[in-house]
Amino acid sequence: MQVKWIFLDTKEELRDAAALFLKNWNADTSFLIKSSGTTGLPQMHAFYKTQLTHSAQASNAAFQLNEHTRALLCLPLGSVGGLMLLARSVVGNFELLLQLPSSRPLQNLNQKIDFIALVPTQLQQSLHHDLDKLKAISKILVGGGQISSELIAACQNAQLEVWQSYGMTETLSHVALRKVSPIEEPSFKALPGIHFSCSNDCLNISYPQLQKEPIATKDIVELQDPTHFTWLGRADNAINSGGFKVLPEVLEQQLEKYFEAAFFISSLPDQKWGDIVTIVIEANEAPTFPDFAKLGFKPAEIPKKYALTPRFERTETHKIKRKEVLQSLSNAHWRPI
Asked whether 263 and 252 are in contact (CB, 8 A), the reply is yes
Tens digits of residue pLDDT in 219-266: 999 999 999 999 999 998 999 999 899 999 999 999 999 999 999 999
250: nearest Cα among 283, 308, 201: 201
Asked whether 174 and 150 are in contact (CB, 8 A), the reply is no
Asked whether 100 and 11 are in contact (CB, 8 A), the reply is yes
Tens digits of residue pLDDT in 179-212: 999 999 999 999 999 999 999 999 999 999 888 8
320: DSSP letter: B
Residues linked to residue 279 through DSSP beta bridges, in sequence order: 265, 306
User: Per-residue pLDDT averaged across 137-161, rounded?
Assistant: 93
User: Does residue 182 have a cis bond before it (omega within 30 degrees)?
Assistant: yes
Q: Which domains does the chain have, with CATH numbers?
A: 5-193 (3.40.50.12780), 238-336 (3.30.300.30)
- The pTM for the full model equals 0.86
pLDDT top residue among 144 and 102: 102
pLDDT score of 41: 59
Burial 47-60 (b: 16+ CB within 10 A, else e): bebebbbbbbbbbb
CA distance 56 to 66: 11
pLDDT score of 139: 97
User: Per-residue pLDDT averaged across 144-152, rounded?
Assistant: 88
129: nearest Cα among 147, 151, 107, 110: 107
110: nearest Cα among 130, 92, 82, 94: 130
pLDDT score of 146: 84
Tens digits of residue pLDDT in 275-329: 999 999 999 999 999 999 999 999 999 999 999 999 999 887 778 999 999 999 9
Average pLDDT, the chain: 93
Amino acid at 333: H
194: nearest Cα among 164, 151, 226, 162: 226
